[in-house]
Structure 1
Amino acid sequence: MQPLKLLTNVQKARLLHSLLSNEIPEFLGYLNELTETVLNDRERITAEWKDQLFGVDFWFELAENVQRVMAKYAKELYKSPNVFADQLFDGYTAIFTAHALVQYIALGKYADPKFKPAVELLFT
Structure 2
Amino acid sequence: MKALNQLNNLERGKLLHQLFPNEMPALVDFVQGMCEAVNENLDLNRAKWNNGLFSFDFWLSLAGDVHAVTEKYGPKLHKNSNLFADQLFDGYLACFTIHCIVTYTAVRQHENSKFVKAVDLLFNP
Asked if TM exceeds 0.5, the reply is yes
- Partners of 1:45 and 1:68 lie apart in 2 by 20
Q: Which residue of 1 aligns with 2:7?
A: 7
**Deviation, structure 1 residue 109:** 4.5
Deviations 1:39-86 (A, max 9, x none): 122111100012521100000000000011011111210100000011
Q: Which residue of 2 aligns with 1:117?
A: 117
- Partners of 2:94 and 2:29 lie apart in 1 by 17
- Partners of 1:79 and 1:57 lie apart in 2 by 31
Unaligned runs of 5+ in 2: none
Percentage of identical aligned residues: 42
Q: How does 1:1-124 map to 2 (within 5 A)?
A: 1-124=1-124
Instruction: Say whether the 8 Å CA contact 2:25–2:75 is kept in structure 1.
Output: no
Please report the RMSD computed on the Cα atoms of aligned residues, expressed in angstroms: 1.0
- Partners of 2:58 and 2:76 lie apart in 1 by 26
Unaligned runs of 5+ in 1: none
Instruction: Say whether the 8 Å CA contact 2:62–2:92 is kept in structure 1.
Output: yes
Instruction: Say whether the 8 Å CA contact 1:104–1:110 is kept in structure 2.
Output: no
1:6 aligned partner, one-letter code: Q
1:24 aligned partner, one-letter code: M
Instruction: Say whether the 8 Å CA contact 1:69–1:87 is kept in structure 2.
Output: yes
SS of corresponding position for 1:58: helix
Aligned length: 124
- Partners of 1:88 and 1:28 lie apart in 2 by 10
2:25 aligned partner, one-letter code: P
SS of corresponding position for 1:67: helix
2:83 aligned partner, one-letter code: V
